[in-house]
Amino acid sequence: MAFLLAAISAMSQKPVKLKIVYFHLERRCPTCISIEENTKKALNTYFASQLKDGSVTLQVLNAEDPKNQKIVEKYKAEGSALFLTKVNGTKETSTDFTNFAFSYSRNQADKFIAGLKAEIEKNLR
């Protein structure tokens, strides 16, 4: 009986979803551009099926566009920023990946992509 209840409970739980949100400004430096490009590269290389089924999503938003004001405020994004938000049912947990992205994306792209891949995998568990 306990096994049956556990199976029913597992089926009723919503799957974990990961929202990746990249904010940029109107004027973009080479590092900002590389963060977007390398994030897309990591997602398309390692998480194509999750992108397709919607369990991983990517939003690229201009932080200066008034239509994005609410989401900018939600994340407290100031300028370029990269966030990973794990959604498990109604609970959301965000990781600010901005410092890592700025440290490695442009000059050590492989390190950035590997680090982003590891963080995404951790959040999908």
pLDDT of 43 above 90:
yes
- The domain locations on the chain are 14-124
Q: What is the DSSP letter of 108?
A: -
Helix (H, G, I), strand (E, B) or coil at 25: coil
Q: Which residues pair with 29 in a beta bridge?
A: none
What are the tens digits of pLDDT across the range 66-79? 999 999 999 999 88
Q: What are phi and psi of 97, to 5 degrees?
A: -100, 15
Nearest to 58 by CA among 34, 111, 89, 22: 22
Dihedral sign from CA coordinates of 80, 59, 117, 107: negative
- pTM metric for this prediction: 0.86
Q: What amino acid occupies position 86?
A: K
Query: What is the rounded CA–CA span in Å between residue 67 and residue 16?
Result: 27
Residues whose CB falls within 8 Å of the CB of residue 51, separated by 6 or more in sequence, listed in order = 43, 44, 57, 58
The CATH topology of domain 14-124 is Glutaredoxin (3.40.30)
Query: What is the rounded CA–CA span in Å between residue 80 and residue 114?
Result: 20
What are the tens digits of pLDDT across the range 5-32? 444 444 445 566 999 999 999 999 999 9
